[in-house]
Amino acid sequence: MATKQVTGGSEIDERLAALLTNANAVRAIASAVEGTIGPKGLDTLLVDRFGEVVITNDGITILTKMDVNHPAAKMVINTARAQEEEIGDGTTTATIMAGALLSEGVNQALKGVPVTRIIEGVRFGLNHAIRLMMEHSRPVKGVDEPILRNVALIAGREHEDIADLVVGAARLIGEEKLLKDGFKLSDTIMAREGAENTVFMGVVVDRKRSNEQMPKEVSNAKILIVEDALEPEEIDEGALGTEAGFQRYMELKEEFRENLEKVVSLGVNVILLDRGTTDEAEELLVDAGVLLVQRVSSRELRKAAEHTGARPIKRTGLKKPPAEIERCLGHAERVYEDEKLEHIRIIGGKGKPMATILVGAATEEVVDERERIAKDAAASVQAAVRGGVVPGGGAVEMAVAREIERLRDGVKGMAVYGVDCVIEALKRPLFQIVANAGFNPLEKVGDVMAAQMREGSDSLGIDCDTGEVRDMLALGVYDPTLVKTHALKAAGEIAEAILRIDTIIKKKDETPPGQAADIREPGDVTAEIDL
């Protein structure tokens, strides 16, 4: 890279060099995922330094597991991660369009178009593209809408069993829950080797009973959730060496035993802990026929509390009067241990209705990928319920690109070249889908453009099996509108942020004096010299 020296020893890139190096980094990231898009997309093999492998065509998995050092590439990955958090799908499309926006932006800049004018045109084009995408959206009328299965099938990479599971769970949970802020259908999914595909109203705690002598199953469960260790209050070790300290220790131990007996007398038959317990407490609970589960994750404790209506307490809460503890208890029809899958299921909680989608996998190697596929399908179904659907397969992007071309004539000055960047980016998903299917993308993109103009349709695309122009809606190819609009926003944010970078400056070393000595190798004599 060409650089020039400036006063102070900083290194500053020459004109457009910063844009070129950043754009190349983004294009490299886009090329890593573009081969996975579409029904004929292939998988990517990720290998770490220990030889562990991950085989996937999930865009966000590829991006987040890549070994990346370039700051511009990290910006792309962070934006893709935000897209995944917000919508749960569409990261591959967003990354591909961001790469196309930057490629075209660089081409225009090399021709002499000012970067500020390119950014102006990109903003104009993207704002209208998002508006037009919303206008092309078809509403989804409830969770019984048949096209939801098509959405799940496309996002789930044509795994019919996963599509059926996800749609079944959506109908079980209901539209009201799917529309609720903060609820993610994808969070209800878990995959296990050897499991049967199933959806049930309840939650899973991914732990076993603390003791095999405890009951495997409890009906009409009264559940206590303790966000603490189930053990006596601690006392300073130094105090134990004194007679008074030891006496206090014995008093706390007896008080703890009385509190446990009080809990048992309330009819509590299931206890969930986020930490451990003592041998004495475990023995007492075994004798009382209580099912105890230790070291439950905070996320699973929270879900169990919501589903059963329990109010988690600390161990000091065990000192409360029985009536107050009673109000903290949760209730469920059934709690049992699945010995094959080695987890606890809580069924029929009296709190908020919650469903779990259990995805089976034949071998350990495909468990994670099956879970990723199911999560993508669930996120797409929920997005479709919330925001409707558009024709998939890159068809609607082509229709929007045609409409942006008509708006181009109303743009003044050199900003029109930024609009051209948006038009090319909108064509890119179909281009890559066709290329991955083994057809000539230039020819097929032209065929689709001509067919859409001739028939006035926004749903014409390419059948990846035959290479013919077909109606995507007739083929059952739908994409959630929110996935598309958020992908456009994400691509625009990445492109504008990188286009605005004019200079790359190497920062001076700001390590505090003396800190460098701390990182020297032990035994290095110079490390002991105070400079």
**Where are the domain boundaries for CATH 3.50.7.10 in the chain?**
199-361
User: SS3 of 304, please?
Assistant: helix
CA-based angle 405:407:413, to the nearest 5? 100
Q: Give residue 409's pLDDT.
A: 82
Amino acid at 282: E
Cross-strand pairs, 413? none
Q: Provide the terminal-to-terminal Cα distance of the chain, rounded to the nearest Å.
A: 36
pTM over 0.85: no
Residue 235 near residue 256, CB atoms below 8 Å:
no
Helix, strand, coil percentages, rounded to 5, for the chain: 55, 15, 30
Angstrom distance (rounded) from CA 430 to CA 227: 51
Q: Give residue 398's pLDDT.
A: 95
Helix H segments across 341-394?
367-387
Q: Give residue 408's pLDDT.
A: 86
**Where are the domain boundaries for CATH 1.10.560.10 in the chain?**
13-138+390-443+479-499
The number of residues in the chain equals 531
With respect to CATH, is domain 199-361 assigned 3.40.605.10? no
Instruction: Give the architecture (CATH level 2) of 13-138+390-443+479-499.
Output: Orthogonal Bundle (1.10)
Q: Give residue 66's pLDDT.
A: 85
Q: Give residue 11's pLDDT.
A: 41
| Count of helix runs (H) and strand runs (E) in the chain | 19, 16
Return per-residue pLDDT of the chain as tens, 531 residues: 444 434 343 343 455 777 888 888 888 888 889 889 989 988 888 888 888 888 888 888 888 888 888 888 888 888 888 888 888 888 889 999 999 999 999 899 888 899 999 999 999 999 999 999 999 999 998 899 999 999 999 998 888 999 999 998 898 888 888 888 888 888 888 888 888 888 888 999 999 999 999 999 999 999 999 998 888 877 666 666 676 766 777 888 888 888 899 999 999 999 999 998 888 889 999 999 999 999 999 989 999 999 999 999 998 888 889 999 999 999 999 999 998 888 999 999 998 888 888 888 877 778 888 888 999 999 999 999 999 999 999 999 999 999 999 998 888 889 999 999 999 999 999 999 999 999 999 999 999 999 999 999 999 999 999 999 999 999 999 999 999 999 999 999 988 988 888 777 777 777 666 554 444 343 333 233 232
Among residues 22, 130, 20, 13, the alpha carbon closest in space to that of 75 is found at 22
Q: Give residue 392's pLDDT.
A: 92
Q: The tokens 């009973």 sit on which residue?
A: 209
Q: Give residue 239's pLDDT.
A: 62
Q: Give residue 530's pLDDT.
A: 31
Q: Give residue 402's pLDDT.
A: 93
